[in-house]
Amino acid sequence: MSGDNELLARLRNEQFAVVDDFLSLEFANKLLRSSQELIKSNAFKQHRFSFGGSLLEKPGVFEIDLSGPTCSKMPSGLGAWNDVVNDFAPSFVKRLAVDNALALKSGTPAIKVQLNTGGGSFPWHYDNPGPPSERSLTCIVYLNPNWTPGDGGELVLWPFLSKQIVVPPLHARAVLFRSDTVLHRVLPSKVRRLCFTMWCPGNAVNRQSDVLLSKDVLQFRSYDEAQAFFCQSPLQRVLSRAVYSEDYLESLLECVENESGHEKISLQLKRSLVQQHENNVNQIMVKLRPLIQEFRERKTRREIS
């Protein structure tokens, strides 16, 4: 239990935590074997995501939604994944339910098993981008006993205006973070890479003060004070795409243009993604230009220091 308290303190103070040996080696290996059965029976489906009104494929990323209606009908069954759904995940949520800030809802969280191959990546994003999402805590668990540097597939966390943290997807390692304040991406994976994610919903996410950037909120006495505020507030999501504009676009194109897909995206789709991204950024700039410019400068200073 003291382990849980330490974990919760880290989540409160830093908004993320990396936990090695999160699973026993025996359980991690069992999950790996069940995943291999599921791969053989073609149970993993193409991952899709929406951007600017289009539903796009992430080439090289496949998944099984363990909360979905189809998973009980898997040809070979879920094997050890049943233990995650019925026992491991709900007891994990129960252990962390003491934390008032996360205010986790009890029960089984949403769970996804994910397979990346041949260059599959994720662009910069928040797992909880705003209402109607109820995600409070993300917990990703990696199942890659043979991962070595050079394989790619690292998770990169980017706490607001802070340094990037690159996390190798090592076997039985978990990465936990607040779904509404931790910007992150996944680097292209050159080898087969497995993980599962538990998204735990909370009762206290996306309150008005987390989504509405009013004039009252913007009464800062200094940019240092503003930075300290946005670092810990989900309101950073309003600014993030403009502050990290180049990084968002570069990672988005890297993700959808991955050539392991059936065909390269058309020039027309690429243009419309760039346009949509620029529209989003301009909408933020029109309202908050001085603040964004200052934060962009602070970001650059951090990168070169």
Ligand X SMILES: O=C(O)CCC(=O)C(=O)O
SS3 176: strand
Q: Which residues from 134-153 bind ligand X, rule CB under 6 A?
A: 140
- Phi and psi at 172, nearest 5°, equal 70, 10
Interface characters, 117-136, with ligand X (x: CB under 6 A): -----x----x---------
CB of 125 to ligand X, least distance (A): 7
Q: Which two tokens stand for residue 249?
A: 């676009």
Half-sphere exposure of 36 (CA within 13 A, CB side): 7
Closer CB to ligand X, 174 or 284, in the complex: 174
x/- string (CB under 6 A) for ligand X, residues 174-193? ----------x-x-------
The phi, psi pair for 239, rounded to 5°, reads -95, -25
Determine which residue in the list 34, 117, 197, 236 makes contact with ligand X, applying CB under 6 A.
197
Query: From CA 89, how far away is CA 19, in angstroms rounded?
Result: 16
Restricted to residues 209-238, the positions that interact with ligand X (CB under 6 A) are none
- Phi, psi torsion values for 77, nearest 5 degrees: 75, 175
Task: Tell me how far apart the alpha carbons of residues 265 and 262 are, in angstroms, rounded to a whole number.
Answer: 9
Q: How far is the CB of 140 from ligand X (least distance, A)?
A: 5
| Amino acid occupying residue 265 | I
- Looking only at residues 152 through 171 of this chain, which bind ligand X when binding is defined by CB under 6 A? 155
Bridge partners, 178 (sequence order)? 137
* Bridge partners of residue 17, in order along the sequence: 176
Q: By CB under 5 A, what part of segment 121-140 binds Fe ion?
A: 127
Give the type of residue at 139.
C
| CA nearest to 17, candidates 174, 156, 124 | 174
Min CB(184)–ligand X separation in Å: 6
Question: Among residues 46 and 283, whose Cβ is nearest to ligand X?
Answer: 46
256 is a site residue for ligand X (CB under 6 A) = no
The residues pairing with 177 across neighbouring beta strands, listed in sequence order, are 16, 138
Of ligand X, Fe ion, none, which one does residue 197 interact with (CB within 5 to 8 Å by kind)? ligand X
With CB under 6 A, what is the number of residues at the site for ligand X? 9
By CB under 6 A, name the binding residues for ligand X.
Answer: 114, 122, 127, 140, 155, 184, 186, 195, 197
By CB under 5 A, name the binding residues for Fe ion.
Answer: 127
